[in-house]
Amino acid sequence: MVRVSAPLLGLLLLCCFGFLAPPAAAEYVKYRDPLQRLEVRIRDLMNRMTLAEKIGQMVQLDRAVVTPEILRDYSIGSVLSGGGSVPLPKATPEDWINMVNGFQNGSLSSRLGIPMIYGIDAVHGHNNVYKATIFPHNIGLGATRDPDLVKRIGAATALEVRATGINYVFAPCIAVCRDPRWGRCYESFSEDPGIVQQMTDIILGLQGEIPENSRKGVPFVGGQDKVAACAKHFVGDGGTTRGINENNTVTDWHGLMSIHMPGYYQSIIKGVSTIMASYSSWNGEKMHANRDLITNFLKNTLKFRGFVISDWQGIDKITDPPHSNYTYSVLAGVQAGIDMVMVPFNHTEFIDTLTGLVNGEFIPMSRIDDAVRRILRVKFTMGLFENPLSDQSFLDQLGSQAHRDLGREAVRKSLVLLKNGENADGPVLPLSKKAPKILVAGTHANNLGYQCGGWTITWQGLSGNNNTTGTTILSAIATAVDPSTEIVYRENPDSNFMTSNNNFSYAVVVVGELPYAETAGDSRDLLIAEPGYNVISTVCGRVKCVVIVVSGRPVVIAPYLDQMGALVAAWLPGSEGNGVADVLFGDYGFTGKLPRTWFKTVDQLPMNVGDANYDPLFAFGFGLTTEPVQAN
């Protein structure tokens, strides 16, 4: 047998037949060509897809149940980490990258090689990940009134997310919380829709500055150092009756448009890639099944061209009890306009149900094609087809000093000074760094978990200092004061202790709420955690004191206000407690303003600026200011 090499065979064919044999490389396909226009690539790919592959793109599964084989065989469109769903406890960025790339290789091995998108709740920094910078929750950022600051936080968060190989975040929450009894109120920038609109600049940090010639509503992600963002939860989630999570928002069209919708106008203008539907209802109709708002208004009127994603098992919750009529739920949700469904565990049930509905002509192919077109538009815009796999380019960004410095800046700008009493030496604040002996007291002074709140490492948050890295308020105070100052720390000093220790120059009392997230955080009484009030009364009755409240919302404080020398709302400041000390000791002045009304009693709720009979303890926008001091 005569063996002929491939190059020689090609030359012989050219001589004999006038053409060169094609190389062994894959055939040219338009959807893989980045020089082709976006819509051409989308159309070419969709023309090649089967119904099964299209429906697979509409599925998002949690990492706990997904495998590379599932991604390959079902052409699954997305994977997510739910709150606390991590590859390993205290996983390193390399652990995350290896996991994400393992999943991505599964997607790339499918027939058409459509890359998956990986989503995570990065709602105040990359908050699921060990050693990430934890920024203040949105309520604190709303107190800063600083859109440029949140844009820089968005850019830092994008870098830290990319450090772990992830490219999609379920943020920002642009809810307008109208009742602090809601357990997600700290995820809202403000009760004022105008402030929420301003703070949508965080999208420009997460995704990049949208080009001037960009079409309205078209998603935009500006490079490998950026991530796709998600405005949530559409729409009215912050206006539910009595602040009950997933409840009913009762308001007319004008109220919905003027209070709850403006943030979405701005998010779409700024190129947000995705929008998440709300669990809540509007005037009794579940948002996950509201075609008028999702398809007719959001997609057709506002011209949003990214994709709409469900919340966690949001399709199931269309019925009561959840999942009681799954076929109806899938029909209602997909027909309403939801494009990607956060299943998140049972993909075969959803795929089989939706396939049956399409084959039975209950859902038209045009609806499936609309969903897939939107999903692919985001993926192409992100550059996923050109760069599907993550590398270690951004490893040094996770918890970097620059980001921690930014977090510290955000903390000091978010603090709101509510009271600054006078004594013989003048105002209580700023405190002296050279006091001989000081007391630091309270449950929240030395607890990083309490300081960060919910959506930190786990869904509902944690207690303690070993779950991630950062600086507690106690540690920050110790660093700030003169080395000669004696610091005494007691979590819960009793009256006997205070009587026998009567030589403190002043006390800093740090109390507040325990960590919580949605539903579990819904509260009827809005009290700080025990023994907080006892600590205030015991300490502030005997020594000049500053009370720092660490909370996700206004809490009951009026009965104790007279006992305090000064009162500071610190919200949920995150990992950089040094920002608190910066302002306490006068290195920087207080500048924060209340992003929401502080009530006198819970019986007044709901109460928002502009309401009739508005009678708050501290009005929306209130905040005392101080000047920085050179030395103290």
149 with 141: CB under 8 angstroms? yes
For residue 9, the tally of other CB atoms under 10 A from its CB is 11
Cα distance between residue 569 and residue 187, in whole Å: 16
Element containing residue 413 per DSSP (H, E) = helix 401-414
Place of tokens 């209950």: 362
SS3 of 541-556: CCCCEEEEEECCCCCC
List, run by run, the mean pLDDT of 10-residue segments along the chain (632 residues): 39 38 66 97 98 98 98 98 95 98 98 98 98 98 98 98 98 98 98 98 97 87 96 98 98 98 97 98 98 98 98 97 97 98 97 98 98 98 97 97 98 98 89 98 98 98 98 98 98 95 95 98 98 98 96 98 98 98 98 98 98 97 93 62
What the block records as the tokens of 6 is 């491939």
Place of tokens 């009529």: 325
Cα distance between residue 120 and residue 475, in whole Å: 31
177 with 191: CB under 8 angstroms? yes
Cis peptide upstream of residue 430 (ω within 30 degrees of 0): yes
Say how many Å lie between the first and final Cα of the chain, rounded: 95
What the block records as the tokens of 53 is 């592959």
533 with 556: CB under 8 angstroms? no
Instruction: Please tell us whether the domain made up of 39-397 is placed in CATH 3.10.420.10.
Output: no
248's CB contacts (< 8 A; 6+ apart) are 240, 241, 280, 281, 282, 283, 284
For the annotated catalytic residues, the residue numbers are: 311, 518
Cα distance between residue 547 and residue 415, in whole Å: 12
What sign does the dihedral 390-393-398-404 (CA atoms) show? Answer: negative
46's CB contacts (< 8 A; 6+ apart) are 54, 369, 372, 373, 376
Cα distance between residue 288 and residue 298, in whole Å: 13
Q: DSSP H helical segments within 276-346, as ranges?
A: 291, 326-336
- DSSP readout, 58-102? TEEEETTT--HHHHHHHT--EEEE-TT--SSTT--HHHHHHHHHH
Q: Residue 501: its pLDDT value, please?
A: 87
Q: Residue 301: its pLDDT value, please?
A: 98
Residue 574 Cα distances to 38, 132, 231, 409, 551, angstroms: 40, 11, 22, 12, 11
Classify domain 415-604 at the CATH topology level: Rossmann fold (3.40.50)
What the block records as the tokens of 26 is 């894959």
For residue 30, the tally of other CB atoms under 10 A from its CB is 16
Q: Where are the beta strands (DSSP E) in 165-321?
A: 168-169, 230-234, 248-249, 274-277, 281-282, 285-286, 307-309
Q: Residue 252: its pLDDT value, please?
A: 98
Cα distance between residue 305 and residue 298, in whole Å: 9
Domains 39-397 and 415-604 are alike in CATH topology: no
Cis peptide upstream of residue 172 (ω within 30 degrees of 0): yes
Q: What is this structure's pTM?
A: 0.95
Q: Which amino acid is at 202?
A: I
CA angle (144, 153, 376) in 5-degree steps: 130
CA angle (259, 265, 268) in 5-degree steps: 145
Per-domain boundaries in the chain: 39-397, 415-604
> Taking phi first (over 0 means left), then psi (-120 to 50 degrees means alpha), and beta for anything else, what does residue 329 get?
alpha
For residue 20, the tally of other CB atoms under 10 A from its CB is 10
Q: Residue 25: its pLDDT value, please?
A: 52
DSSP-derived pairing of the beta strands 426-427 and 416-420: unpaired
The dihedrals phi and psi of 114, each to the nearest 5 degrees, come to: -80, 120
Cα distance between residue 234 and residue 562, in whole Å: 42
Cis peptide upstream of residue 233 (ω within 30 degrees of 0): yes
Chain length of the chain: 632
